[in-house]
Amino acid sequence: MRTITTKDPRFSLRFATPGDAGLLLDFMQQLGTYQNMRDKIVATETGLQQLLSQGKGEAIFGDYDGTTVGFVYFCQTSSAFIGQSGLYIDALLVHESMRSKGLGKIMMAFMAKMALQRGCQRLEWGCLDWNEPTIRFYRNLGAHSVDIMTIYRFSPEQLTANAAMF
Protein backbone atom coordinates (compact mmCIF):
# COMPACT_ATOMS: atom_id res chain seq x y z
CA MET A 1 0.00 0.00 0.00
CA ARG A 2 1.51 3.28 -1.13
CA THR A 3 0.88 6.14 1.31
CA ILE A 4 1.06 9.72 0.07
CA THR A 5 1.87 12.40 2.60
CA THR A 6 0.04 15.72 2.45
CA LYS A 7 0.49 19.21 3.86
CA ASP A 8 -1.53 18.12 6.89
CA PRO A 9 0.67 15.71 8.89
CA ARG A 10 -2.45 13.98 10.24
CA PHE A 11 -3.92 13.36 6.77
CA SER A 12 -2.54 10.96 4.17
CA LEU A 13 -3.81 9.52 0.91
CA ARG A 14 -3.56 6.01 -0.46
CA PHE A 15 -4.59 4.31 -3.68
CA ALA A 16 -7.28 1.66 -3.36
CA THR A 17 -6.49 -1.93 -4.22
CA PRO A 18 -9.03 -4.51 -5.38
CA GLY A 19 -9.09 -5.69 -1.76
CA ASP A 20 -10.57 -2.30 -0.79
CA ALA A 21 -13.76 -2.91 -2.80
CA GLY A 22 -15.83 -3.39 0.37
CA LEU A 23 -14.61 -0.09 1.81
CA LEU A 24 -15.24 1.60 -1.52
CA LEU A 25 -18.80 0.24 -1.58
CA ASP A 26 -19.35 1.51 1.97
CA PHE A 27 -18.25 5.01 0.93
CA MET A 28 -20.45 4.89 -2.18
CA GLN A 29 -23.43 3.99 0.02
CA GLN A 30 -22.60 6.87 2.37
CA LEU A 31 -22.43 9.23 -0.61
CA GLY A 32 -25.74 7.89 -1.89
CA THR A 33 -27.32 8.58 1.50
CA TYR A 34 -25.92 12.13 1.54
CA GLN A 35 -27.25 12.74 -1.97
CA ASN A 36 -30.70 11.31 -1.12
CA MET A 37 -30.03 8.65 -3.75
CA ARG A 38 -29.09 5.63 -1.62
CA ASP A 39 -31.49 3.44 -3.60
CA LYS A 40 -29.58 4.29 -6.80
CA ILE A 41 -26.34 2.75 -5.50
CA VAL A 42 -26.60 -0.74 -6.96
CA ALA A 43 -22.87 -1.47 -7.18
CA THR A 44 -21.61 -4.64 -5.55
CA GLU A 45 -18.33 -5.38 -3.88
CA THR A 46 -17.56 -7.87 -6.67
CA GLY A 47 -18.33 -5.30 -9.37
CA LEU A 48 -16.14 -2.66 -7.75
CA GLN A 49 -13.37 -5.22 -7.26
CA GLN A 50 -13.50 -5.99 -11.00
CA LEU A 51 -13.35 -2.29 -11.94
CA LEU A 52 -10.32 -1.77 -9.72
CA SER A 53 -8.63 -5.01 -10.89
CA GLN A 54 -9.13 -4.20 -14.56
CA GLY A 55 -7.98 -0.58 -14.19
CA LYS A 56 -11.34 0.71 -15.45
CA GLY A 57 -11.66 2.80 -12.31
CA GLU A 58 -9.39 3.96 -9.52
CA ALA A 59 -9.95 5.23 -6.02
CA ILE A 60 -8.03 7.15 -3.43
CA PHE A 61 -8.81 7.03 0.27
CA GLY A 62 -8.03 9.82 2.71
CA ASP A 63 -6.89 8.71 6.17
CA TYR A 64 -6.93 11.12 9.12
CA ASP A 65 -5.00 9.87 12.17
CA GLY A 66 -5.24 6.36 10.73
CA THR A 67 -9.00 6.42 10.13
CA THR A 68 -10.38 6.49 6.60
CA VAL A 69 -12.53 9.63 6.38
CA GLY A 70 -12.85 10.31 2.65
CA PHE A 71 -12.53 8.95 -0.84
CA VAL A 72 -12.40 9.85 -4.51
CA TYR A 73 -13.41 7.41 -7.27
CA PHE A 74 -12.25 8.37 -10.78
CA CYS A 75 -11.36 7.18 -14.27
CA GLN A 76 -9.44 8.33 -17.34
CA THR A 77 -11.37 10.07 -20.14
CA SER A 78 -10.67 11.67 -23.50
CA SER A 79 -12.56 13.92 -25.87
CA ALA A 80 -12.19 13.95 -29.63
CA PHE A 81 -14.27 17.15 -29.63
CA ILE A 82 -11.47 19.12 -27.98
CA GLY A 83 -8.60 16.65 -28.44
CA GLN A 84 -7.80 16.37 -24.75
CA SER A 85 -7.54 13.71 -22.12
CA GLY A 86 -8.65 14.07 -18.56
CA LEU A 87 -9.65 12.47 -15.33
CA TYR A 88 -13.31 12.23 -14.39
CA ILE A 89 -14.23 12.17 -10.71
CA ASP A 90 -17.30 9.98 -10.38
CA ALA A 91 -17.57 10.21 -6.60
CA LEU A 92 -16.02 12.22 -3.79
CA LEU A 93 -16.93 12.31 -0.13
CA VAL A 94 -15.40 13.53 3.10
CA HIS A 95 -17.21 12.43 6.26
CA GLU A 96 -19.40 15.23 7.57
CA SER A 97 -17.55 15.36 10.89
CA MET A 98 -14.28 16.00 9.01
CA ARG A 99 -15.46 18.75 6.68
CA SER A 100 -14.06 22.29 6.92
CA LYS A 101 -10.59 20.95 7.82
CA GLY A 102 -9.26 21.41 4.28
CA LEU A 103 -9.23 17.67 3.53
CA GLY A 104 -11.45 17.94 0.44
CA LYS A 105 -9.22 20.73 -0.85
CA ILE A 106 -6.16 18.52 -0.35
CA MET A 107 -7.85 15.67 -2.20
CA MET A 108 -8.81 17.92 -5.11
CA ALA A 109 -5.28 19.36 -5.24
CA PHE A 110 -3.89 15.83 -5.39
CA MET A 111 -6.30 14.93 -8.19
CA ALA A 112 -5.25 18.04 -10.15
CA LYS A 113 -1.57 17.21 -9.68
CA MET A 114 -2.10 13.60 -10.72
CA ALA A 115 -4.03 14.69 -13.82
CA LEU A 116 -1.10 16.87 -14.86
CA GLN A 117 1.40 14.10 -14.13
CA ARG A 118 -0.61 11.78 -16.38
CA GLY A 119 -0.56 14.30 -19.23
CA CYS A 120 -4.20 15.31 -18.83
CA GLN A 121 -5.47 18.76 -19.71
CA ARG A 122 -8.57 18.71 -17.54
CA LEU A 123 -10.26 17.36 -14.44
CA GLU A 124 -14.04 17.01 -14.50
CA TRP A 125 -16.86 15.89 -12.22
CA GLY A 126 -20.57 16.31 -11.71
CA CYS A 127 -22.47 17.87 -8.84
CA LEU A 128 -26.17 17.73 -8.09
CA ASP A 129 -27.88 21.08 -8.71
CA TRP A 130 -29.32 21.29 -5.17
CA ASN A 131 -25.99 20.69 -3.42
CA GLU A 132 -25.14 24.35 -2.69
CA PRO A 133 -22.42 23.69 -0.06
CA THR A 134 -20.50 21.49 -2.50
CA ILE A 135 -21.07 23.89 -5.40
CA ARG A 136 -19.60 26.71 -3.26
CA PHE A 137 -16.63 24.48 -2.39
CA TYR A 138 -15.92 23.77 -6.07
CA ARG A 139 -16.37 27.41 -7.10
CA ASN A 140 -14.01 28.52 -4.32
CA LEU A 141 -11.40 26.24 -5.91
CA GLY A 142 -11.93 28.06 -9.22
CA ALA A 143 -14.05 25.41 -10.95
CA HIS A 144 -16.76 26.40 -13.40
CA SER A 145 -19.87 24.51 -14.45
CA VAL A 146 -20.57 23.34 -17.97
CA ASP A 147 -24.21 24.27 -18.44
CA ILE A 148 -24.51 23.84 -22.20
CA MET A 149 -25.43 20.17 -22.23
CA THR A 150 -27.46 17.50 -20.51
CA ILE A 151 -25.91 14.11 -19.82
CA TYR A 152 -27.82 11.12 -21.23
CA ARG A 153 -27.19 7.46 -20.55
CA PHE A 154 -28.49 4.00 -21.33
CA SER A 155 -29.35 1.68 -18.45
CA PRO A 156 -28.07 -1.90 -18.82
CA GLU A 157 -31.46 -2.92 -20.24
CA GLN A 158 -31.50 -0.04 -22.74
CA LEU A 159 -27.89 -0.79 -23.69
CA THR A 160 -28.84 -4.40 -24.47
CA ALA A 161 -31.97 -3.38 -26.38
CA ASN A 162 -30.10 -0.85 -28.52
CA ALA A 163 -27.20 -3.21 -29.17
CA ALA A 164 -29.71 -5.82 -30.41
CA MET A 165 -30.73 -3.42 -33.19
CA PHE A 166 -27.32 -3.83 -34.84
pLDDT digit string (tens) for the chain, length 166 residues: 679 999 999 999 999 999 999 999 999 999 999 999 999 999 999 999 999 999 999 999 999 999 999 999 999 999 998 899 999 999 999 999 999 999 999 999 999 999 999 999 999 999 999 999 999 999 999 999 988 888 888 988 999 999 999 9
What SS3 class is residue 136? helix
What SS3 class is residue 10? coil
C-alpha dihedral (115, 117, 118, 124), degrees to nearest 10 = 10
Nearest to 122, CA basis, from 86, 150, 88: 86
First to last CA, the chain: 44
Domain range list for the chain: 3-163
CATH architecture classification, 3-163: 3-Layer(aba) Sandwich (3.40)
pLDDT in the model for residue 148:
85
pLDDT in the model for residue 150:
82
Whether the model pTM is above 0.75: yes
Looking at the chain, the number of H-run helices and the number of E-run strands are: 5, 6
Sheet of 58-64, strands arranged across? 3-5, 11-15, 58-64, 67-79, 84-94, 122-125
What SS3 class is residue 42? coil
pLDDT in the model for residue 152:
85
Single-letter residue type at 13: L
pLDDT in the model for residue 94:
97
- CA atoms 48, 49, 54, 60: torsion sign: positive
pLDDT in the model for residue 98:
97
